[in-house]
Amino acid sequence: GIQVEQSPPDLILQEGANSTLRCNFSDSVNNLQWFHQNPWGQLINLFYIPSGTKQNGRLSATTVATERYSLLYISSSQTTDSGVYFCAVELLGNEKLTFGTGTRLTIIP
Amino acid sequence: EAGVAQSPRYKIIEKRQSVAFWCNPISGHATLYWYQQILGQGPKLLIQFQNNGVVDDSQLPKDRFSAERLKGVDSTLKIQPAKLEDSAVYLCASSFPGNTIYFGEGSWLTVV
């Protein structure tokens, strides 16, 4: 099956710093989504981004489908950004959404 | 707009007992998913419904897990008999086909 690898696995930053999270996938996809799982376990959808670039406030995401990776940028980090960030992909011709390994982000005040 | 509703939020059972989780998706969402998330891991898809038909259940342990989605709306996930390794969060999600997926708050299961 498809492999979805995220890096780094853990990231600790000072409040106000910027960060880049990466998602690599092993096959062509027709759907890629980024999620934030907060410390209480709630998964919140951040972006639906099978290709191109999108921005939402301090967050932006870019997917280069031909090179099989996606990046999530977080600028001016806040403590509320802490949690685990997952990317999830859906293969061409298969509606199953497969989650990556996750990046645990900790923002220190 | 109401989100995905799940119940119960927390459940503790002994091994070999049974448990059932309920999910009510966002109104109009044809696709419904059940994921299992073990502590420290990403969510793993157990079963995916399109309306009341099963799209994928390849990772559902069918000897002990069952799920149904009657009338294409609400869904229940049942585990019988439970094992220690079933301790996890069971996440229900819904979406329009091929669109943004929305998750409920999850049902936390502890098997002792």
Distance from CA of B108 to the nearest CA of A (A): 10
Core vs surface per residue B17-54: b (16+ CB within 10 A) or e: eebebebbbbeebbbbbbbbbeeeebbebbbbbeeeee
The pLDDT of residue B1: 62
Query: Between A14 and A95, whose confidence is greater?
Result: A14
Name the residue facing A96 among B42, B45, B93 (closest C-beta). Answer: B45
- Cβ within 8 Å, pair A41-B55: no
Measured between beta carbons, the chain A residues lying within 8 angstroms of B98 are 30-31, 90, 95
Q: A73 forms bridges with which residues in the sheet?
A: A20, A60
Name the residue facing A97 among B45, B50, B102 (closest C-beta). Answer: B45
Round the average pLDDT of chain A to a whole number and report it.
93
Q: Please give the single-letter amino acid code of residue B87.
A: S
The pLDDT of residue A46: 96
The pLDDT of residue B78: 98
Strand ranges across the sheet with B19-24: B5-7, B19-24, B75-79, B65-68
**The two structure tokens encoding residue B4:** 């995905």
